[in-house]
Amino acid sequence: MNDLSRFANHYWFKYKRAGACSELRGRVCIQVVFVSSPNAPWSERSQNDFWKIAFDAREILLSQARHYGVPLEIDFRGLVMNVPAGQEHNFVPYLPSFFHRPTLAQAQDYYKDYYSCDEAPIIFVVNADGRSYAQNDKRGDMWDYDEMSVLRRPFCPGLFMHELLHQYGAQDYYFPAWLTNLAAQYAPTSVMLSGSYHDIDEVSAYLIGWTSRLSARSQWFLEQTLCITEESHRRALEEEWKKKVY
Ligand SMILES: [Zn+2]
| Residue 176 included in any domain | yes
| Residue 80 included in any domain | yes
pLDDT 10s digits, 46-82: 999 999 999 999 999 999 999 999 999 999 999 999 9
| Residue 121 included in any domain | yes
Question: Does pLDDT of 131 surpass 60?
Answer: yes
Q: Measured between alpha carbons, how far is 139 from 117 in angstroms, rounded to an integer? A: 26
Number of domains in the chain: 1
Res 20: pLDDT: 76
Determine the distance separating the centroid of ligand 1 and the alpha carbon of 74, expressed in angstroms.
21
| Residue 1 included in any domain | no
| Residue 31 included in any domain | yes
pLDDT interval class at 14 (50, 70, 90): confident
pLDDT 10s digits, 78-92: 999 999 999 999 998
Task: Give helix 177-186 / helix 216-224 axis angle, nearest 10°.
Answer: 170
Q: Which residues pair with 79 in a beta bridge?
A: 33
C-alpha closest to that of 202 among 216, 182, 138, 155: 216
| Residue 84 included in any domain | yes
Res 143: pLDDT: 47
Res 148: pLDDT: 82
Burial code (b: 16+ CB inside 10 Å, e: under 16) for 150-167 equals bbbbebbbbbbbbbbbbb
Res 102: pLDDT: 85
For residues 176-196, give the mean pLDDT.
Answer: 97
pLDDT interval class at 21 (50, 70, 90): confident
Q: H or E stretch including 62?
A: helix 44-67
Res 244: pLDDT: 65
CATH number at residue 165: 3.40.390
Q: Measured between alpha carbons, how far is 226 from 115 in angstroms, rounded to an integer? A: 39
| Residue 3 included in any domain | no
Which residue has better confidence, 3 or 53?
A: 53
With beta carbons less than 8 A apart as the criterion, state whether 198 and 157 touch: yes
Q: Measured between alpha carbons, how far is 29 from 157 in angstroms, rounded to an integer? A: 17
Question: Does pLDDT of 104 surpass 60?
Answer: yes
Determine the distance separating the centroid of ligand 1 and the alpha carbon of 133, expressed in angstroms.
6
Determine the distance separating the centroid of ligand 1 and the alpha carbon of 132, expressed in angstroms.
8
Determine the distance separating the centroid of ligand 1 and the alpha carbon of 134, expressed in angstroms.
7
Pairing relationship of beta strands 148-153 and 133-135 according to DSSP bridges:
antiparallel
Which residue has better confidence, 37 or 241?
A: 37
Tell me the residue range of the domain where 39 lies.
10-16+23-243
Determine the distance separating the centroid of ligand 1 and the alpha carbon of 199, expressed in angstroms.
14
C-alpha closest to that of 168 among 138, 205, 132: 205
